[in-house]
Amino acid sequence: MPEFTTIGLIVRRNSDSAVYSLKRLIRFLQDQGKAFVLEQETADHLPDKSLQKGASCTASLEDLGSYCDLVIVVGGDGSMLSGARALVNSGVPLLGVNRGRLGFLTDITPDDIEQKVAEVLAGQYVAEQRFLLDTEVRRRGQLISAGDALNDVVLHPGELIRMLEFELYVDDHFVTSQRSDGMIVSTPTGSTAYALSGGGPILHPRLDAIGLVPMNPHTLSSRPMVVPGDSHIKILVGEYNNASPQVTCDGQLHFRIHPGDEVVIRKKPKQLTLIHPLNHNFYERCRSKLGWGGHLLD
């Protein structure tokens, strides 16, 4: 196991509870003799500026990976998603402390910060690879916009509640034309997020697969599909749509598109490393987060 010597810290802004957990985390790292680097916007928004004094430096979110060998995110899944997109190319692993709501990606509870982070620093952890999706919007062959997504890429009508018409292709094979509210293209990581609420299947994080989940299709025969992870997915937006559709990556990056545009989605070559405590269990996480039943004899 590699030794983590310099720790990057990202905290969910406008959250008193997250800042409190950050204080505990900084105190613990200092006691352990570990250097830490504060993400720049985290440092700028800290109400207690004394927290910056022990930091080696501050760095932008995009540059944080060049200073650190581990980044800890204190916040919710949204904070982890933005951190993952910014840091995936650096190869630095991410560890999450949950100060959000659901917390599928942030493993450590606030009460366990010192114990669990100590275990990770001692090499007692599980490293897991997750892939992201590369997304491009092309208009008459020209690249208009691009982004990454750890959870999902969603085609939707935008501000107006109107059905979209589009064609779906996988590996240049025509699959179907559809009238619906849009399409969710999901990684296994994102299968427990928006895709799940749209009726999509839960995919184990180790699967090399992509979920295609239609949103309120105008036909009962349209169902979610799972395709190989190396698939080349293309969505051709119909020429006669009256809506102003958008493509959204992880619910955080938004691109307005025009009728006739192509949305091209494929697996990103560079993968993200997530760090989990040794007691991490995907099925237990599903039970606790999604309210599944426990043992019948308990």
- 77 assigned to active site: yes
pTM: 0.93
The radius of gyration computed from the CA coordinates of the chain, to the nearest angstrom, equals: 21
**Closest to 64 measured CA to CA, from 27, 28, 32, 39:** 39
**Residue carrying structure tokens 């010192």:** 114
Determine the distance from the C-alpha atom of residue 277 to the mean position of all C-alpha atoms in its chain, rounded to a whole number: 19
16, 44, 77, 107: the active-site residue: 77
Q: Is the pLDDT of residue 188 over 90?
A: yes
Query: What average pLDDT does range 87-106 have in this prediction?
Result: 88
What is the torsional sign of CA 264, 265, 269, 271?
Answer: positive
Pick among 2.40.50.140, 3.40.1440.60, 2.60.200.30, 1.10.3720.10: CATH of 133-267: 2.60.200.30
- Non-local CB neighbours of 162 within 8 Å, separated by 6+ positions: 241, 242, 243
* pLDDT band at 298; cut points 50, 70, 90: low
CA–CA gap between residue 192 and residue 205 (Å, rounded): 10
Instruction: Output the DSSP codes for 122-167.
Output: TT-EEEEEE--EEEEEEETTEEEEEEEESSEEEEE-TTS---EEEE
* 202: amino acid identity, one letter: I
**Closest to 284 measured CA to CA, from 274, 273, 295:** 295
Q: What are the residue ranges of helices labelled H in 179-254? A: 194-197
CA–CA gap between residue 121 and residue 117 (Å, rounded): 6
CA–CA gap between residue 94 and residue 8 (Å, rounded): 9
Residue-wise over 151-164: b if at least 16 C-beta within 10 A, else e?
bbbbbbbbeeeebb
Q: Is the pLDDT of residue 48 over 80?
A: no
CA–CA gap between residue 223 and residue 214 (Å, rounded): 7
Q: Is the pLDDT of residue 30 over 80?
A: yes
Q: Is the pLDDT of residue 1 over 70?
A: no
Domain positions in the chain are: 6-131+271-290, 133-267
Q: Could you tell me the CATH superfamily of domain 6-131+271-290?
A: Probable inorganic polyphosphate/atp-NAD kinase; domain 1 (3.40.50.10330)
Give 232-291 pLDDT, tens digit per residue: 999 999 887 666 789 999 999 999 999 899 999 999 999 999 999 998 889 988 898 888
Q: Tell me how far apart the 2 most distant CA atoms of the chain are, in Å.
A: 63
What is the torsional sign of CA 291, 73, 276, 119?
Answer: negative
CA–CA gap between residue 263 and residue 125 (Å, rounded): 38
Structure tokens at 246: 């958008």
φ, ψ of residue 181 to 5 degrees: the values are -80, -5
